[in-house]
Amino acid sequence: MSILINQATKVVVQGITGREGQFHTSQMLAYGTQVVAGMTPGKGGQMVLDVPVYNSVAEAVKEQGADTSLIFVPAAGAADAMLEAADAGIQFVVCISENVPTLDMIEVTHYFDRKGVRLLGPNCPGLISAGQCKVGIIPNHVATPGPVGIVSRSGTLTYEVMFALSQRGLGQSTAVGIGGDPVKGTNFIDVLKLFNEDPATEYIVMIGEIGGTDEERAAEYIAANVKKPTVGFIAGQTAPPGRRMGHAGAIISGGEGRAEDKIAAFKKAGIAVARHPDEVADLVMKAAGRS
C-alpha cells in the first residue's frame, strides 16, 4: 500500500508543453505513472510524449478521467491553475511552481478547504509511492519500495535521505515533499496521520527546517497519536536569526522557528533526532533492529 497516490492514479499535467513540464512528464512516464493528459490553453489537440493535450482541465477530466493534477505553471498564473483544477473536479492538486504570491495562496487554500480538495505545495517536489507512481520531480532512481514513510519541507534533503535509506536496503512506502512556503496545502500533521493509518508504513522520517512552528505542532501530534518509530532532522541549525535561508518560510523571527526549539520538541515527543542527513538512515536502521 501507499498514501495519496498509487498505480491507479491518473494525472493531468498543467503546463505540459513547457520545458520543465515536458521533461518531468517523461520521467513520470518512465516510472510507470499514468499521465493521461496534458493541459496548455491554446494548444489543445497536440500530443506531447504520446500524451493528448487539452485546452482546459475540465476537458482532460471529461475525456481521460484525470483525478490528480500536477502544475508546472509560472508563479503569476499558478493560483489560477490551481483553482481551475479544483473547479474541474480534480481531487488532488500538486503544485511545483515557486514564488507563488502569499496573498494568492491564502485565497487558494481557503477555496480548497471549502471544496474539500487536497493541495500539495506550492514550491514542493511532489511525492512518490515507490514502485507504483510518481507525481512531481523526485528523481526516479533514489526510490525503492519498502516500509519507510518520509515527509519533508526540503526537496533535496528528501532525495538525499531516500538514497541513503535505499543504499542500506530500507525502501520507502511514500515520500511526500510538502514544500517550504509559509502558506501551503498539506502539512506535516496531515501526512503523519496518513502514515499512521497506512499498514505498509512501519517507520516514519520527518525532515523539518527552521522557521515557523509546524515541526513543534507535529511533534505534539506524534507524541499523542503516533506509535510507529519516528526519526527527525532539522535543517538550518547554523542559520543566523533574521536571515532567510532557502525557502520563504525558513526564517527565524520573533523568537520562533529556532532549530534548537524544534529539536527539543522532537526529543520530548520521543523522536530520534539525526545530527546530519546521512544519520537519518542510521537511526532508521537502529529502529528496525538492523544497526
28 confidence band (pLDDT: 50, 70, 90): very high
Q: How far is the C-alpha of 22 from the C-alpha of 117, rounded, in Å?
A: 25
Q: Is the same domain home to 93 and 210?
A: no
* Contact indicator for 107, 79 with CB cutoff of 8 Å: yes
Q: How far is the C-alpha of 243 from the C-alpha of 55, rounded, in Å?
A: 42
Q: Is the same domain home to 115 and 154?
A: no
Q: Is the same domain home to 110 and 172?
A: no
Q: Is the same domain home to 198 and 241?
A: yes
23 domain-assigned: yes
Q: Reply yes or no on whether 247 is catalytic.
A: yes
Give the up-direction half-sphere exposure of residue 136: CA atoms within 13 A in the CB hemisphere: 31
Q: How far is the C-alpha of 159 from the C-alpha of 227, rounded, in Å?
A: 25
State yes or no: pLDDT of 219 exceeds 50: yes
CATH number of the domain that residue 149 is part of? 3.40.50.261
pLDDT at position 261 is 92
Mean pLDDT computed over every residue of the chain: 94
133 domain-assigned: no
Q: Give me the mean pLDDT over the 29-47 stretch.
A: 98
How many helices (H) and strands (E) the chain has is answered by 9, 14
Q: Which of 24, 110, 247, 276 is catalytic?
A: 247
State yes or no: pLDDT of 242 exceeds 80: no
Q: Is the same domain home to 107 and 143?
A: no
Give the distance, in angstroms, between the CA of residue 27 and the centroid of all CA atoms in the same chain.
17
Which of 120, 153, 168 terminates a domain? The answer is 120
Number of structural domains, the chain?
2
Q: How far is the C-alpha of 102 from the C-alpha of 28, rounded, in Å?
A: 29
Q: Is the same domain home to 92 and 180?
A: no
Q: Is the same domain home to 143 and 116?
A: no
Closest CA to 172 of 190, 159, 184, 182: 159
User: Which residues does 178 contact at the CB level (< 8 Å), separation at least 6?
Assistant: 120, 121, 124, 151, 152, 153, 184, 185, 186, 187, 188, 191
pLDDT at position 245 is 53
Q: How far is the C-alpha of 175 from the C-alpha of 9, rounded, in Å?
A: 16
Q: Is the same domain home to 267 and 180?
A: yes
Model-level pTM?
A: 0.94
Q: How far is the C-alpha of 209 from the C-alpha of 86, rounded, in Å?
A: 30
247 confidence band (pLDDT: 50, 70, 90): low
- Each residue of 264-289: pLDDT tens digit? 999 999 999 999 999 999 999 999 98
174 domain-assigned: yes
3-state SS class at 34: strand
| DSSP letters spanning 154-166 | -HHHHHHHHHHHH
Q: Is the same domain home to 46 and 177?
A: no
* Contact indicator for 131, 144 with CB cutoff of 8 Å: yes
127 domain-assigned: no
- Each residue of 10-25: pLDDT tens digit? 999 999 999 999 999 9
252 confidence band (pLDDT: 50, 70, 90): very low
pLDDT at position 211 is 86
pLDDT at position 237 is 75
User: Which residues does 135 contact at the CB level (< 8 Å), separation at least 6?
Assistant: 5, 9, 11, 28, 33, 68, 70, 94, 126, 127, 128
Lowest-pLDDT choice from 34-48, 127-141, 219-233, 235-249: 235-249
Percent of the chain with pLDDT over 70: 93
Q: Is the same domain home to 197 and 266?
A: yes
- Each residue of 90-119: pLDDT tens digit? 999 999 999 999 999 999 999 999 999 999
181 domain-assigned: yes
Structural domain for 31, as ranges: 10-120
pLDDT at position 254 is 45
258 domain-assigned: yes
pLDDT at position 236 is 76
